[in-house]
Chains A and B, each alone.
Chain A
């Protein structure tokens, strides 16, 4: 490629073409009227808005195709506001486009770098200032200042310490103890094995002692699902089998992935499904993970019955429930 490269040349800004509204006084007047009409429509919108606020009862619902049952006041307030704002906007834009000067203007740019002489001056000044501070020479000052600045910036962090208590062992503990009765949620009634048919699921919580209150913090760790299948369908180790009672098996309802409630039970397949990220757990095999991002089975709660035949916990959970954390040991 020896030939000299000659690019195409810039023809420059095209000549300005006048709009019809610039040359035809009739059209100019017409555009002016249009802008005024747009602004007036906006005013009508505000009137509608005020009327809806005053005249429509706030609990009146109307049925509209495509929208369904809609609160009439909110709808008309909204439509009024829409008209009021939209038409101010349309009017202003039309005004600018049809009537304000439409000649494009050229402004020059300047390079951001300053003139060489100013730059040199500036850089020299900064250098002088830096040397005047003597930070380079006085290393004791430099180091001690560094230390104190570093330390003082730690104090806000220290102040944040009381944002919360230390976790200690609490992530590993639930309210389930040896002998705690299982009660229905909602309802707070103790249950017997016979209350649960084969194929049924129930959500249970630990029974409250008198004077005890149930908080969301408790529920977030204590929620348990009971599922009853035919005992011969279990594929469990002898130990785990001894944690079940007449085909009833109990799992923590809190997903081992990110803690959502594992709320969907498919009777046919005997799968528990977490709706958050679709982790799927196999009930007959101790909630083994079949699919999805969860890495661990749902913890199983060992259950049995007390002397009155009510379902109780044989012992606390043997592992932490819910999502993983650094200190978790299994």
Chain B
């Protein structure tokens, strides 16, 4: 039988049993637009699948117990040393199970890739405005996945119970303990008594392999169903409108590319795991609270938190026999809380400020949303500074600087540099807009010089294609919102102050270089 015939028979078989012919036909020919930046979310999805596969493998040998054992396994330097069963079994996976180290390293590399892909994907969505109506739900799910990903990764590398990860748990316990009023209770409940106890690793194991992966699966499913149902956004271009989606059909092109891409991501993580050692826990030794490995560094997605903690000043209040540790609460809970809440609410804040309640399926070019782009750059700068400070001891030794100087500089920079990044980015966007306008009206510089009759040299400009001119001018430039702050009798309108804020923000939002029109082009032709 030919492939066509077989496929036909299969389709028939399925429909006779489900009656899904109409629905399946519609979905198998679903159109997906193609762009490299649409693969970032895919990378996150594929690394999650890799994490599921390798994680299940690890559970076959990993023993989530803090019971003390005497190590007798294949790694000689630790032979005869007392350690937790969790640590011993991780050594066992690394040295006595064939392919175990490889799986551990794939698991860890995939975790780093997963988080990196989520962050890159989030940036793509943010800077192109893909979170706008109707996709706010997916934005919130995405922020949820990012947050849980950080937690999941932290719990994961805490499982082996080595000296490095035990230190991380110690710090997590201190954060819990610092919460006013209920802190020591929370810490005791989490650890089943005083730190470190024997219950924490078994508990976070259940969370790491069952609870959170379950939630991930549910959230990812919802995320993908929404993408499917709402259809993908697309970049502006000739023939692409708010009312259509242009791309390749699911079967077979998109399926082959996406399926192939999964294997490529797998291959890349396998390669990293084969040649680049990650988290060599046998070098750190088992956890004990009285020791520490110098230059302790968490995984990168935790580094910004570590940086915030490192740069925080030594603030503590002592009031009526109680202690409030601002030096822990501010960097460990308050700032991250504000950051993540702000991120989650951003689509609603933006639409409220700009008054934009329309559906959007065409993506913004970042320069055409200068305020949003500048805000994004500002937040990235903030995180970048904290990440750098998270490695301040490494910076200090590498560049022979004093840690104290770095920390002081960072305390200053964290307040000044992000706003500067905002201003610079906004200007950059506006100058790019000006550049677009020039291109449309005067064409592309060719680099060729022409001698004018008056002896002057001028550069020859070449008109750009109609397609290009369309891309550069298709976006909307809405007018500023107007809000009455007083009614006709001069009485202050309710919400006057809020409306003033909205009006100001919306005026800031329309501060753009006017995009050229046909009239502008014609006027120039007449000259």
Residues of A within 8 A of B (CB): 3-14, 53, 58-59, 67, 71, 73-75, 77-79, 81-93, 95-97, 100-102, 104-109, 111-112, 160-161, 163-167, 170-171, 185, 203, 205, 216-217, 219-221, 223, 253-254, 257-261, 263-264, 275-279, 289, 291-296, 322-330
Contact = CB atoms under 8 A, between A and B. Distances in A.
A7 B273 contact: no
A188 to B, nearest CB: 14
Given A112-B359, A275-B393, A293 B314 contact: yes
Nearest to A161: B189
A325 B323 contact: yes
A12 B239 contact: yes
Contacts of A53: 98-99
A29 B470 CA distance: 39
Nearest to A58: B98
A93 B294 contact: no
A277 B244 contact: no
Interface stretch (B149-157, B180-188, B336-344, B417-425): B180-188
B191 interface: yes
A8 B323 contact: no
Given A278-B310, A325-B177, A6 B518 contact: yes
B39 to A, nearest CB: 11
A166 B275 CA distance: 48
A278 B407 contact: yes
Contact of A85 (B174, B231, B266, B295): B266
Residue among B262, B267, B440, B466 with the highest chain A CB neighbour number at 10 A: B267
A326 B392 CA distance: 30
Contact of A96 (B170, B245, B252): B252
Contacts of A276: 167, 171, 292, 296
A9 B259 CA distance: 38
B230 to A, nearest CB: 7
B519 interface: yes
Interface string B305-345: 01001111111101001111101100100000000000000
Contacts of B392: 278
B102 A77 contact: yes
B321 A88 contact: no
Contact of A258 (B170, B231, B257, B313): B170
A67 B311 CA distance: 35
A326 B180 contact: yes
A109 B245 contact: yes
Interface stretch (B17-25, B192-200, B378-386): B192-200
Interface residues of B, number: 119
B292 A100 contact: no
Interface in B428-477: 440, 466-467, 469-470, 473-474
B190 interface: yes
Contact of A164 (B101, B189, B321, B328): B189
Contact of B102 (A81, A100, A160, A328): A81
Given A223-B289, A324-B177, 15 more contacts: A4-B519, A7-B515, A7-B518, A53-B99, A83-B267, A85-B266, A86-B266, A93-B257, A109-B231, A205-B290, A216-B287, A261-B289, A323-B325, A323-B328, A324-B325
A8 B519 contact: no
17 contacts: A8-B440, A13-B239, A75-B274, A81-B274, A89-B267, A91-B260, A102-B248, A104-B246, A105-B249, A171-B177, A220-B196, A258-B175, A277-B306, A292-B310, A293-B310, A293-B314, A327-B322
A164 B188 contact: yes
Per CB-CB distance, the 5 closest pairs between chain A and chain B, nearest first, are: A78-B274, A86-B267, A92-B260, A13-B239, A89-B263
B415 to A, nearest CB: 17
B484 interface: no
Contact of B518 (A8, A10, A59, A263): A8
B170 A88 contact: no
A295 B327 contact: yes
Contacts of A3: 519
Contact of A294 (B243, B314, B331, B474): B314
B289 A219 contact: yes
